[in-house]
């Protein structure tokens, strides 16, 4: 009789072991099936990269068309008063509204990102851009056009906040030219809008203006074929699916996913709680370097190139260039595109970032001072002594846009990527977008006030002074390329906590137990508390490859 309880206990333990094995096998098979399904849904790596390039280019080109809308649309309303009766305040309000909406959208997207996801946000932005183009074509009142501009601002804010981070996921192991594509697509969109306003002066045919809805519509169709962001999949606990996405998007072999250090580090980092905006600033540590770097994004707007694009044709007329100002605006947009394409090689040299920003600021200041003096002479001379209008305004503004394309268009973003830690980059990019477009909104809203109070000549002179202050900030606040090693050094609090952690771990751990520093390098990272838990990453043959999960 004494042996019966022992038999019952042994039988129950055997049943428990069998049930655990069955549950483990079923979980492994379900994860393998889910991973296989993810593999089947994803297109080939080359096609995925091509689709991403199309989506990124179309989204940034759509943002460029948003910026260039007011340059030609309001002039058409002037020529045909039956379309829309607007006061000057309403005109500048319509032009500047998307810039303010971009700021609000950037904060909202960063706040709600881990609830919605990259693909859903980008698809929503593309559909909103389609709706904005339809309202711009058919709207004939101030409120309809305001709704169209608000939708355009939301779509642009989603694009500028999420597309760079989404592109980075495709560039973890192998670096394509995605950054050059994003930088060139934005001025290309401006060029397309300016060229259409010059070559096709459409007024009473709204269905022709509906063609601008084709650009974001094609982007929405391509988005349906792209995978979800690996960052979002890791944040929601789907690490195996994120590994499968990175394998396809980076064109990696299954064994490369396991052993590639950058991919492992990205998957581990994305499973950690993401810092907020202020938390990322605090975690960055060195505010002496970070604050001047974020101030560069304010100067990105106040040096004048971005705000001038909203009303470039009118500014050319005020500067004295009255011979086909729409054609001149198109030429300046072409200079912007050419400068961006030609300056992409300079971005590969980190030691040139500071020099390029200095040179761009000084060239902009000189061109603005010369243009201001030209406008001052035209206003102070007698009517019969005014010389024939020449090409000086076009040449001066051409220098401004060429300098902006080589300097402030891309260099602040490159410096931010060098300075920011990987876990803080998404939040700091969001903050930079908000600072830049908030400054654009202020500049566009101040433009009519400054024109009424000080005139166009003093406006250009003040812009030149702002460019000189930007050069001074670069000289004093932006470090040289060899000073960026400080971003890998921990702060004083980090050193103190690291010393406490290392001392406690060395006193409590045995020689055969891995330390937390060593376990932090394992891949993938999850919230599991057991050091023996594993994650199965399926390869193309369907075999599960167990990998250790680090403790958090």
Provide long-range contacts, Cβ within 8 A and 24+ apart, for 460-463: 460/319, 460/368, 460/369, 460/371, 460/372, 460/375, 461/368, 461/369, 461/372, 463/302, 463/303, 463/304, 463/364, 463/368
The strand ranges marked E within 124-197 are none
Return the bridge partners of 539, or none. Answer: none
- Inform me whether the pLDDT recorded for 524 exceeds 90: no
Question: For residues 275 and 424, is the Cβ–Cβ distance under 8 A?
Answer: yes
Quick one: CA torsion of 277, 263, 45, 119, rounded to 10 degrees?
A: -20
pLDDT tens, residue by residue, 242-301:
888 877 777 666 555 555 677 777 788 888 888 888 888 888 877 888 899 999 999 999
Is the pLDDT higher at 238 or at 536? 238
**The pLDDT value given to residue 42:** 46
229-257 b/e (C-beta count within 10 Å ≥ 16 → b)? bbbbbbbeebbbbbbbbbbbbbbbebeeb
Q: Domains in the chain, ordered, with CATH?
A: 34-274+525-552 (1.20.1250.20), 277-479 (1.20.1250.20)
**The pLDDT value given to residue 241:** 86
pLDDT tens, residue by residue, 432-453:
999 999 999 999 998 888 888 8
Three-state DSSP state, 509: coil
**The pLDDT value given to residue 95:** 86
Three-state DSSP state, 343: coil
Phi (first) and psi of residue 537, to 5 degrees? -105, 115
550 vs 534: CA distance, rounded Å = 9
Please count the other Cβ atoms lying within 10 Å of the Cβ belonging to residue 401: 28
Question: For residues 499 and 203, is the Cβ–Cβ distance under 8 A?
Answer: no
254 vs 331: CA distance, rounded Å = 49
- Counting residues of the chain whose pLDDT is more than 90, the rounded percentage is 30
pLDDT tens, residue by residue, 376-425:
887 776 554 455 556 888 999 999 999 999 999 988 998 898 888 888 89
């Amino acid at each position: 009789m004494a042996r019966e309880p022992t038999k019952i206990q042994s039988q129950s333990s055997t049943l428990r072991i069998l049930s655990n094995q069955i549950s483990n096998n079923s979980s492994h098979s379900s994860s393998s099936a889910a991973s296989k399904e993810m593999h089947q849904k994803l297109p080939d790596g080359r096609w995925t990269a091509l689709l991403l390039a199309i989506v990124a280019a179309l989204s940034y080109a759509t943002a460029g068309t948003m910026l260039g809308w007011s340059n030609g649309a309001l002039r058409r309303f002037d020529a045909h008063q039956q379309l829309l009766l607007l006061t000057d305040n309403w005109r500048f309000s319509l032009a500047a509204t998307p810039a303010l909406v971009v700021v609000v959208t950037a904060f909202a997207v960063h706040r709600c990102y881990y609830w919605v996801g990259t693909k859903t946000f980008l698809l929503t932005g593309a559909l909103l851009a389609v709706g904005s183009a339809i309202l711009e074509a058919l709207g004939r009142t101030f409120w309809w056009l305001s709704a169209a501009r608000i939708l355009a601002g939301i779509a642009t804010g989603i694009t500028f906040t999420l597309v760079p981070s989404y592109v980075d996921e495709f560039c973890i192991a192998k670096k394509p030219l995605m950054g050059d594509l994003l930088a060139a697509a934005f001025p290309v969109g401006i060029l397309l809008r300016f060229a259409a306003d010059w070559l096709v002066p459409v007024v009473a045919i709204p269905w022709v203006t509906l063609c601008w809805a084709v650009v974001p519509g094609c982007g929405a169709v391509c988005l349906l074929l792209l995978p979800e962001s690996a960052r979002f999949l890791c944040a929601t606990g789907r690490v195996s699916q994120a590994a499968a996405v990175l394998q396809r998007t980076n064109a990696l072999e299954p064994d490369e996913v396991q052993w590639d250090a950058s991919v492992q580090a990205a998957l581990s980092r994305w499973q950690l709680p993401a810092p907020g905006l202020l938390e990322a600033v605090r975690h960055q540590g060195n505010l002496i370097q970070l604050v001047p770097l974020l101030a560069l994004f304010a100067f990105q707007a106040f040096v004048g190139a971005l705000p001038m694009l909203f009303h470039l044709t009118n500014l050319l007329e005020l500067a004295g260039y009255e011979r086909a100002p729409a054609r001149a605006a198109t030429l300046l947009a072409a200079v912007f595109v050419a400068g961006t394409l030609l300056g992409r090689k300079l971005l590969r040299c980190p030691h040139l970032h500071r020099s390029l920003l200095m040179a761009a600021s000084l060239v902009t200041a000189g061109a603005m001072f010369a243009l201001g003096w030209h406008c001052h002479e035209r206003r102070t001379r007698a009517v019969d002594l005014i010389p024939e209008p020449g090409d000086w305004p076009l040449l001066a503004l051409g220098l401004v846009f060429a300098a902006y394309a080589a300097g402030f268009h891309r260099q602040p973003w490159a410096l931010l990527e060098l300075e920011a830690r990987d876990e803080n980059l998404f939040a700091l990019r969001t903050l930079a977008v908000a600072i830049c477009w908030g400054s654009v909104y202020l500049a566009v809203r101040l433009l009519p006030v400054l024109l009424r109070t000080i005139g166009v000549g003093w406006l250009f002179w003040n812009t030149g002074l702002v460019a000189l202050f930007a050069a001074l900030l670069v000289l004093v606040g932006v470090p040289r390329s060899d000073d960026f090693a400080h971003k890998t050094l921990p702060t004083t609090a980090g050193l103190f906590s690291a010393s406490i952690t290392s001392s406690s771990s060395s006193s409590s751990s045995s020689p055969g137990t891995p330390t937390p520093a060593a376990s932090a390098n394992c891949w993938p990272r999850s919230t599991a508390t057991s050091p023996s838990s594993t994650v199965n990453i399926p390869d193309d043959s369907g075999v599960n490859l167990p990998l250790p999960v680090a403790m958090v």
